[in-house]
Amino acid sequence: MYARVLTAMLAVLVSTACSTSGIQTPVDPIDPTDPGPVDPGGDPVDPGPVGPGTPGTPDYSNIAQIQRTNAMFQPVAGGWEAPWTGPDAIGQAFYATHADEYDFLVVYTEEEVPDAYAWAVKYDYTTGGLGDDWPNGPSPADAGSAGRLDQVNMMTWTGLYAYAPDEASIVVHETTHRWAAFTTLPGGLPLAGQWHGHWGVYASTGGPSAVGYGDLTDLGNGRFRFDVQYPLQLSPLELYLAGLIPASQVPTMFSVTGANAFSPSTPEYEPSWNSDSYGEDVEFSGNRVDFGVSDIIAANGPRTPAFGQARSDFRFAFALVCESTCDASDLAIVEAQRVAFEEAWFQATDGLSTADTTL
């Protein structure tokens, strides 16, 4: 089986998963801003826009409804479990009834996926300068695409979004994993964690970050503070890596070496602060090391296609995987996420990119 590199976003428990190839993939801590799963039977969910058919009938025609198979998810205690090639099977089912006209497939489930929240599976590795040169990564053909598919965003259980179905920052985060955070710096300066899933709390990428969940500020006198900032937006480095701005528009960035004297002394979801820590408010001391986009290019090569040639408008297909018939309450949550994401993505990219979520 090919080596599968998952850029995981969140997980309910702190643990480590291993692929059959021996590559370890971090299962990340819970989003500290997430109040936790909400019983879908609790607060009412807006059923979404009214369709053109029967009066009062919600229109879910822009959501692909996919029936679960064991190749996609396997029933386990407490929900479903996704095998390594589960996203492939979901994509193959989707493309059996839809044209190859989408760059991203955004997948939700009617059942909980224990020990997991959301993650991204990349299928396109042809973009240069990202630092993601993994020769054994999956290809679009594995998921049934003739070549256009860039990534599958595995959002999982709708109940995770029931408390705020029209807040789409997590979809923004997973989408940004298409381009980040894989880049390295000359000399091994810290920037992303050892598995290159997220920018760490000790790295500034020019501003608030979608992949890092916030921004690092220099307080002076060798003291620094990382703050989680919502709604998520792409930092200048992320915009460059996405091909949305030229290298000349990326400001000076910095990383902190020798981080110490953390406050709080330990993170909420890990035993201690380390190179993979991200997405939690924290203050610490250390040594500032400035770097520029020229250092990124020196270590990873130039971004290709370059700004001006790279695409900025993308198509997203939202899908819900169900055991049989999809329930209206689940469809309503996915529809709210779908509608909110178009504006969230536009704002997160400073109006430089658009997301078309219609089928």
pLDDT for residue 37 = 34
pLDDT for residue 270 = 87
Instruction: Give the strand pairing for 253-263 and 282-291.
Output: antiparallel
pLDDT for residue 304 = 97
Q: Helix 169-176 and helix 328-348: axis angle, to 10°?
A: 60
Cα(306)–Cα(299) distance, integer angstroms: 17
* Prior bond of 231 cis (ω within 30°): yes
Cα(297)–Cα(203) distance, integer angstroms: 17
pLDDT for residue 190 = 64
3-state helix vs strand vs coil in the chain, percent to 5: 20, 25, 55
pLDDT for residue 136 = 79
Digit-by-digit pLDDT tens for the chain (359 residues) are 323 333 333 332 222 223 222 222 233 333 433 433 333 333 334 434 434 445 567 899 999 999 999 999 999 999 999 999 999 999 999 999 999 999 999 999 999 999 889 999 999 999 999 998 777 789 999 999 999 999 999 999 999 999 999 999 999 999 999 999 999 887 766 687 666 689 999 999 999 999 999 999 999 999 999 999 999 999 999 999 999 999 999 999 999 999 999 999 999 988 999 888 999 999 999 999 999 999 999 999 999 999 999 999 999 999 999 999 999 999 999 999 999 999 999 999 999 999 999 99
Q: Domain ranges for the chain, please list them.
A: 6-178+312-356, 186-300
